């Protein structure tokens, strides 16, 4: 009757969100007086999951699952849940996790709560708190089915070390042809660059940067910080930057530790999407820009003067703290 957590990996290494989901699963397991079992599909080093509270790791090694496939992965996780008689299943909020979640919920007949931000308020009734209205509010919802599926918001719970000796069991779910009825033809993924979904720091530019030719400011700043780059909606609408960088209510959500907004006014739709970032820095030449009200740190100044200085100071900082 353990709590099952699906742990995602990238190129044989567990992602930070997998360790966060495992930490959270441990918290839930303690509330229920049980243990955590992780399912890892072609995953990384199990001891990392143990360090965050997993007692058992079901390792799936299957070349058919080399590439993500929502239906097949959902099927594998569902079979693991059934084998473990798990009543609570935890997943992350990655694009892949959100893709497979509704399929998994139907297969397990589970009540599904996405964007969950904290441990359950209670387990009987089982009530969880989630982000709704794109971060403009929280809802508390009771999950009424026997099995509960929780999608954990990124960076909401954090990593919690919980040294546990994890045993590793090979697990071979039985997959059928129908699981692969949506085929991956090709993947086009930028490697070696931080993504908005995974980055600890996101540097974002708005219309205040005047044109795509000035984006080196954003990119250089992102590079010193190891950050992902993002932009406001009009910037992507005008084709200055790709759509995949558009953040906000109608674009991607950002839940990084640090979000730096440069030349962005702070419209309600923009703020909605970036509100769950922990620390917000705003650089804008208009002291009345609404974004300052939502910021932790602000600089009123011209981006073309402030950003190069900031890059320089950060480089010095890096040298001194290396």
Which residue lies nearest ligand FAD, judged by its C-beta?
A: 248
Task: Output the smallest distance, CB 63 to another protein, in A.
Answer: 18
Task: Output the smallest distance, CB 268 to another protein, in A.
Answer: 6
Task: Output the smallest distance, CB 43 to another protein, in A.
Answer: 17
Q: Is 94 in the site for another protein (CB under 8 A)?
A: yes
Stretch that binds ligand FAD, among 7-15, 59-67, 297-305, 312-320 (CB under 6 A): 297-305
How far is Cα 207 from Cα 236, in angstroms, rounded to an integer?
10
Judged by CB under 6 A, the residue of 43, 114, 273, 298 near ligand FAD is: 273
**Pair of tokens at residue 205:** 């530019």
DSSP three-state, residue 196: coil
Q: Is 308 in the site for ligand FAD (CB under 6 A)?
A: no
Q: Is 306 in the site for another protein (CB under 8 A)?
A: yes
Stretch that binds another protein, among 33-41, 136-144, 168-176, 211-219 (CB under 8 A): 136-144
Alpha-carbon distance values, 58 to 7, 39, 120 (Å): 10, 5, 25
Which residue in 274, 122, 136 sits closest to 196, CA to CA?
274
How far is Cα 109 from Cα 143, in angstroms, rounded to an integer?
12
Q: Is 85 in the site for ligand FAD (CB under 6 A)?
A: no
Cis peptide before 125 (omega within 30 of 0): yes
Query: How many Å separate Cα 130 from the centre of its chain?
Result: 14
Judged by CB under 8 A, the residue of 5, 101, 152, 274 near another protein is: 101
Task: Specify the DSSP element, H or E, that contains 309.
Answer: helix 303-320
Q: Is 146 in the site for ligand FAD (CB under 6 A)?
A: no
């Amino acid at each position: 009757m353990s709590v099952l957590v699906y742990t995602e990996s990238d190129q044989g290494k567990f992602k930070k969100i997998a360790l966060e989901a495992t930490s959270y699963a441990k918290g839930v397991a303690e509330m229920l007086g049980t243990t955590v079992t992780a399912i890892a599909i072609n995953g990384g080093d199990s001891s990392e999951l143990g360090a965050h509270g997993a007692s058992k790791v079901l390792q799936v090694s299957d070349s058919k699952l080399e590439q993500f496939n929502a239906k097949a992965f959902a099927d594998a996780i569902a079979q693991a849940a059934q084998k473990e008689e798990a009543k609570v299943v935890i997943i992350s909020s990655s694009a892949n996790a959100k893709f497979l979640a509704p399929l998994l919920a139907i297969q397990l007949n589970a009540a599904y709560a996405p964007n969950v931000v904290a441990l359950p308020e209670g387990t009987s009734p089982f009530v969880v708190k989630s982000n709704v209205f794109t971060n403009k509010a929280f809802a508390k919802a009771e999950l009424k089915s026997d099995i509960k599926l929780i999608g954990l918001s990124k960076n909401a719970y954090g990593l919690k070390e919980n040294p546990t000796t994890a045993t590793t069991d090979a697990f071979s779910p039985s997959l059928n042809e129908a699981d692969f009825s949506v085929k991956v033809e090709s993947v086009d993924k930028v490697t070696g660059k931080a993504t908005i979904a995974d980055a600890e720091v996101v540097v974002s530019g708005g219309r205040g940067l005047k044109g795509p030719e000035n984006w080196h400011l954003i990119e250089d700043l992102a590079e010193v910080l190891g950050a992902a780059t993002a932009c406001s909606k009009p910037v992507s609408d005008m084709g200055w930057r790709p759509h995949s960088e558009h953040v906000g209510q109608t674009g991607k959500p950002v839940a990084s530790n640090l979000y730096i907004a440069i030349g962005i006014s702070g419209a309600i739709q923009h703020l909605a999407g970036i509100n769950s970032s922990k620390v917000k820095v705003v650089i804008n030449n208009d002291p009345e820009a609404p974004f300052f009200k939502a910021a932790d740190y602000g600089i009123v100044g011209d981006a073309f003067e402030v950003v190069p200085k900031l890059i320089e100071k950060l480089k010095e900082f890096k040298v001194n703290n290396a």
